[in-house]
Amino acid sequence: MTRLSVNINKFATLRNARGGNNPNVVQAAIDCERFGAEGITVHPRPDERHITYQDVLDLKEAVTTEFNIEGYPDERYIEIISKVRPHQATLVPDAPNVLTSNAGWDTIKNKVFLRDVIAEIKKYTERVSIFVDPQTQFVEGAVEVGADRIELYTEPYASLYQTNKENAVKDYVTSAKVASSLGLGINAGHDLDRENLKYLKTCLPRLDEVSIGHALVCDALYLGLENTIQLYLRELN
Ligand SMILES: CC(=O)[C@@H](O)[C@H](O)COP(=O)(O)O
Ligand SMILES: NCC(=O)COP(=O)(O)O
Protein backbone atom coordinates (compact mmCIF):
# COMPACT_ATOMS: atom_id res chain seq x y z
CA MET A 1 0.00 0.00 0.00
CA THR A 2 1.27 3.48 -0.90
CA ARG A 3 -0.08 6.32 1.23
CA LEU A 4 -1.21 9.51 -0.50
CA SER A 5 -0.06 12.49 1.57
CA VAL A 6 -1.55 15.71 0.21
CA ASN A 7 0.80 18.68 0.41
CA ILE A 8 -1.40 21.70 1.19
CA ASN A 9 1.22 24.41 0.63
CA LYS A 10 -0.69 25.82 -2.33
CA PHE A 11 -3.87 26.36 -0.33
CA ALA A 12 -1.75 28.71 1.78
CA THR A 13 -0.30 30.34 -1.35
CA LEU A 14 -3.84 31.23 -2.46
CA ARG A 15 -4.83 32.39 1.02
CA ASN A 16 -1.77 34.62 1.37
CA ALA A 17 -2.46 36.23 -2.01
CA ARG A 18 -5.27 38.26 -0.39
CA GLY A 19 -4.09 38.32 3.22
CA GLY A 20 -7.30 36.91 4.68
CA ASN A 21 -8.20 33.37 5.71
CA ASN A 22 -9.75 32.05 2.53
CA PRO A 23 -9.13 29.24 1.72
CA ASN A 24 -8.85 28.14 5.33
CA VAL A 25 -5.79 25.89 5.48
CA VAL A 26 -6.98 23.90 8.50
CA GLN A 27 -10.34 23.23 6.85
CA ALA A 28 -8.52 22.21 3.68
CA ALA A 29 -6.57 19.59 5.62
CA ILE A 30 -9.73 18.30 7.29
CA ASP A 31 -11.51 18.08 3.95
CA CYS A 32 -8.55 16.39 2.21
CA GLU A 33 -8.64 13.70 4.88
CA ARG A 34 -12.43 13.42 4.62
CA PHE A 35 -12.03 12.94 0.84
CA GLY A 36 -9.54 10.10 1.35
CA ALA A 37 -6.07 11.59 1.84
CA GLU A 38 -3.97 9.28 4.01
CA GLY A 39 -1.63 12.04 5.16
CA ILE A 40 -1.13 15.79 5.18
CA THR A 41 2.21 17.33 4.24
CA VAL A 42 3.30 20.92 4.80
CA HIS A 43 6.56 22.68 4.09
CA PRO A 44 6.90 25.85 6.18
CA ARG A 45 9.66 27.78 4.41
CA PRO A 46 11.71 30.44 6.27
CA ASP A 47 10.00 33.26 4.33
CA GLU A 48 6.55 31.80 5.07
CA ARG A 49 5.61 32.38 1.41
CA HIS A 50 2.78 29.89 1.89
CA ILE A 51 2.51 27.68 5.03
CA THR A 52 3.31 29.71 8.14
CA TYR A 53 4.71 28.32 11.36
CA GLN A 54 1.38 29.26 12.99
CA ASP A 55 -0.41 27.15 10.36
CA VAL A 56 1.68 24.19 11.45
CA LEU A 57 0.68 24.69 15.09
CA ASP A 58 -2.98 25.06 14.09
CA LEU A 59 -2.82 21.91 11.97
CA LYS A 60 -1.41 19.86 14.85
CA GLU A 61 -4.88 19.77 16.44
CA ALA A 62 -6.70 19.07 13.17
CA VAL A 63 -4.72 16.40 11.29
CA THR A 64 -5.95 12.90 12.15
CA THR A 65 -4.06 10.88 9.52
CA GLU A 66 -0.26 11.16 9.13
CA PHE A 67 1.22 14.59 9.60
CA ASN A 68 4.43 15.12 7.62
CA ILE A 69 6.38 18.33 8.10
CA GLU A 70 9.07 19.10 5.52
CA GLY A 71 11.82 21.62 5.80
CA TYR A 72 15.45 22.54 6.07
CA PRO A 73 16.57 21.53 9.59
CA ASP A 74 17.41 24.99 10.92
CA GLU A 75 16.61 26.07 14.49
CA ARG A 76 13.09 27.25 13.64
CA TYR A 77 12.25 23.99 11.90
CA ILE A 78 13.52 21.89 14.80
CA GLU A 79 11.56 24.10 17.21
CA ILE A 80 8.29 23.55 15.32
CA ILE A 81 8.96 19.80 15.17
CA SER A 82 9.53 19.77 18.94
CA LYS A 83 6.20 21.59 19.50
CA VAL A 84 4.09 19.62 17.00
CA ARG A 85 5.72 16.17 17.23
CA PRO A 86 4.47 15.03 13.77
CA HIS A 87 4.36 11.44 12.57
CA GLN A 88 7.17 12.23 10.14
CA ALA A 89 9.79 14.93 9.63
CA THR A 90 11.16 15.14 6.08
CA LEU A 91 14.46 17.02 5.80
CA VAL A 92 15.18 18.91 2.60
CA PRO A 93 18.41 20.79 1.72
CA ASP A 94 16.60 23.85 0.35
CA ALA A 95 18.26 27.25 0.59
CA PRO A 96 15.85 29.96 1.84
CA ASN A 97 15.58 31.66 -1.57
CA VAL A 98 14.87 28.70 -3.88
CA LEU A 99 11.68 28.88 -5.96
CA THR A 100 10.95 25.29 -4.91
CA SER A 101 12.85 22.22 -3.82
CA ASN A 102 15.40 21.46 -6.52
CA ALA A 103 17.68 18.70 -5.21
CA GLY A 104 18.15 16.04 -2.60
CA TRP A 105 20.78 15.87 0.13
CA ASP A 106 24.39 14.95 -0.44
CA THR A 107 24.32 12.56 2.50
CA ILE A 108 28.08 12.03 2.23
CA LYS A 109 29.28 15.63 2.35
CA ASN A 110 26.61 16.46 4.99
CA LYS A 111 27.08 13.29 7.03
CA VAL A 112 28.04 14.92 10.35
CA PHE A 113 25.41 17.70 10.10
CA LEU A 114 22.61 15.30 9.16
CA ARG A 115 23.61 12.73 11.77
CA ASP A 116 23.44 15.38 14.51
CA VAL A 117 20.17 17.02 13.44
CA ILE A 118 18.47 13.67 12.90
CA ALA A 119 19.52 12.55 16.39
CA GLU A 120 17.98 15.78 17.75
CA ILE A 121 14.78 15.51 15.70
CA LYS A 122 14.28 11.89 16.68
CA LYS A 123 13.53 13.13 20.19
CA TYR A 124 10.31 14.62 18.77
CA THR A 125 9.11 12.32 15.99
CA GLU A 126 8.89 8.62 15.30
CA ARG A 127 10.14 8.84 11.75
CA VAL A 128 12.73 10.95 9.90
CA SER A 129 12.83 10.90 6.13
CA ILE A 130 15.46 12.64 4.03
CA PHE A 131 15.06 13.98 0.55
CA VAL A 132 17.58 12.39 -1.86
CA ASP A 133 18.33 12.26 -5.54
CA PRO A 134 18.16 8.73 -7.00
CA GLN A 135 21.85 7.98 -6.57
CA THR A 136 22.83 4.87 -4.63
CA GLN A 137 25.68 6.55 -2.73
CA PHE A 138 23.20 9.05 -1.25
CA VAL A 139 20.79 6.25 -0.38
CA GLU A 140 23.58 4.39 1.42
CA GLY A 141 24.51 7.65 3.14
CA ALA A 142 20.94 7.95 4.43
CA VAL A 143 21.48 4.87 6.55
CA GLU A 144 24.75 6.28 7.88
CA VAL A 145 23.03 9.45 9.15
CA GLY A 146 20.23 7.56 10.89
CA ALA A 147 17.28 8.22 8.58
CA ASP A 148 14.30 5.88 8.74
CA ARG A 149 13.19 6.61 5.19
CA ILE A 150 14.33 8.33 2.05
CA GLU A 151 12.13 10.52 -0.08
CA LEU A 152 13.15 10.16 -3.71
CA TYR A 153 13.18 13.60 -5.37
CA THR A 154 11.07 12.97 -8.46
CA GLU A 155 11.37 16.19 -10.46
CA PRO A 156 13.93 14.62 -12.87
CA TYR A 157 11.60 11.64 -13.33
CA ALA A 158 8.63 13.90 -14.04
CA SER A 159 10.63 16.02 -16.49
CA LEU A 160 11.74 13.03 -18.58
CA TYR A 161 8.60 10.91 -18.21
CA GLN A 162 6.79 12.21 -21.28
CA THR A 163 9.71 11.63 -23.63
CA ASN A 164 11.27 8.44 -22.26
CA LYS A 165 9.59 6.92 -19.20
CA GLU A 166 11.83 3.84 -19.13
CA ASN A 167 14.93 6.01 -18.84
CA ALA A 168 13.14 8.38 -16.46
CA VAL A 169 12.45 5.63 -13.91
CA LYS A 170 15.69 3.64 -14.20
CA ASP A 171 17.70 5.32 -11.44
CA TYR A 172 14.69 5.36 -9.14
CA VAL A 173 14.26 1.59 -9.43
CA THR A 174 17.96 1.04 -8.68
CA SER A 175 17.85 3.42 -5.70
CA ALA A 176 14.66 1.89 -4.35
CA LYS A 177 16.13 -1.61 -4.52
CA VAL A 178 19.21 -0.45 -2.60
CA ALA A 179 17.05 1.39 -0.04
CA SER A 180 14.85 -1.64 0.47
CA SER A 181 17.86 -3.93 0.90
CA LEU A 182 19.18 -1.56 3.58
CA GLY A 183 15.89 -1.51 5.48
CA LEU A 184 14.96 2.06 4.57
CA GLY A 185 11.37 3.06 3.95
CA ILE A 186 10.74 4.67 0.56
CA ASN A 187 8.76 7.86 -0.05
CA ALA A 188 8.67 9.90 -3.25
CA GLY A 189 7.65 13.42 -4.17
CA HIS A 190 7.93 16.55 -6.29
CA ASP A 191 6.13 17.14 -9.57
CA LEU A 192 4.24 13.86 -9.38
CA ASP A 193 0.90 14.06 -11.14
CA ARG A 194 -1.99 11.98 -12.47
CA GLU A 195 -0.05 11.06 -15.62
CA ASN A 196 3.28 9.93 -14.13
CA LEU A 197 2.24 8.50 -10.76
CA LYS A 198 1.05 5.01 -11.66
CA TYR A 199 4.15 4.13 -13.70
CA LEU A 200 6.47 5.09 -10.85
CA LYS A 201 4.43 3.11 -8.38
CA THR A 202 4.36 0.07 -10.69
CA CYS A 203 8.11 0.08 -11.36
CA LEU A 204 9.41 0.53 -7.82
CA PRO A 205 9.87 -2.57 -5.63
CA ARG A 206 8.04 -0.71 -2.86
CA LEU A 207 6.69 2.77 -2.28
CA ASP A 208 5.44 3.63 1.20
CA GLU A 209 4.20 7.16 0.58
CA VAL A 210 3.91 9.83 -2.07
CA SER A 211 3.48 13.46 -1.12
CA ILE A 212 1.78 15.43 -3.85
CA GLY A 213 0.75 19.07 -3.80
CA HIS A 214 1.21 21.35 -6.76
CA ALA A 215 -0.30 19.20 -9.53
CA LEU A 216 -3.07 17.89 -7.27
CA VAL A 217 -4.21 21.37 -6.26
CA CYS A 218 -4.03 22.55 -9.87
CA ASP A 219 -6.19 19.58 -10.91
CA ALA A 220 -8.63 20.36 -8.10
CA LEU A 221 -9.24 23.84 -9.51
CA TYR A 222 -10.84 22.16 -12.55
CA LEU A 223 -12.04 18.80 -11.21
CA GLY A 224 -12.93 19.55 -7.60
CA LEU A 225 -10.93 18.54 -4.52
CA GLU A 226 -12.89 15.41 -3.57
CA ASN A 227 -12.92 14.09 -7.12
CA THR A 228 -9.21 14.87 -7.58
CA ILE A 229 -8.13 13.09 -4.42
CA GLN A 230 -10.16 10.07 -5.46
CA LEU A 231 -8.51 10.14 -8.91
CA TYR A 232 -5.03 10.19 -7.36
CA LEU A 233 -5.93 7.37 -4.96
CA ARG A 234 -7.11 5.35 -7.95
CA GLU A 235 -3.69 5.79 -9.61
CA LEU A 236 -2.10 4.26 -6.50
CA ASN A 237 -4.37 1.24 -6.19
C1 LIG B 1 10.07 18.78 -0.76
C2 LIG B 1 9.23 18.94 -1.96
O3 LIG B 1 9.57 18.52 -3.02
C4 LIG B 1 7.99 19.72 -1.90
O5 LIG B 1 7.33 19.70 -0.70
C6 LIG B 1 8.35 21.12 -2.16
O7 LIG B 1 9.01 21.54 -1.01
C8 LIG B 1 7.15 21.93 -2.41
O9 LIG B 1 7.49 23.22 -2.03
P10 LIG B 1 6.66 24.41 -2.68
O11 LIG B 1 5.20 24.09 -2.45
O12 LIG B 1 7.17 25.62 -1.91
O13 LIG B 1 7.01 24.41 -4.14
N1 LIG C 1 7.63 16.16 -1.03
C2 LIG C 1 6.90 16.56 -2.22
C3 LIG C 1 5.70 17.34 -1.83
O4 LIG C 1 5.35 17.40 -0.67
C5 LIG C 1 4.89 18.01 -2.86
O6 LIG C 1 5.63 18.32 -4.01
P7 LIG C 1 4.76 18.89 -5.24
O8 LIG C 1 3.75 17.84 -5.57
O9 LIG C 1 4.12 20.17 -4.77
O10 LIG C 1 5.77 19.09 -6.36
**Alpha-carbon separation of residue 62 from 42, 75, 81, 224 (angstroms):** 13, 24, 16, 22
Listed as ranges, residues in the chain with pLDDT below 50 are none
**CB of 74 closer than 8 Å to CB of 91:** no
Complex ipTM, two decimals? 0.97
Q: Which atom of ligand 1 is nearest to the CA of 214?
A: 11
Pocket lining: 71 vs ligand 2, CB cutoff 6 Å: no
pTM of the model as a whole: 0.98
**From the CA of 237, how far away is ligand 1's center (Å)?**
24
Where along the chain do its domains lie? Answer: 3-236
Specify the CATH architecture of the domain 3-236: Alpha-Beta Barrel (3.20)
Q: Residues 146-205: pLDDT tens digits?
A: 999 999 999 999 999 999 999 999 999 999 999 999 999 999 999 999 999 999 999 999
Q: Is 43 a catalytic residue?
A: yes
Identified catalytic residue from 33, 190, 209, 235: 190
Pocket lining: 209 vs ligand 1, CB cutoff 6 Å: no
Pocket lining: 31 vs ligand 1, CB cutoff 6 Å: no
Q: Give me the count of residues in the chain.
A: 237
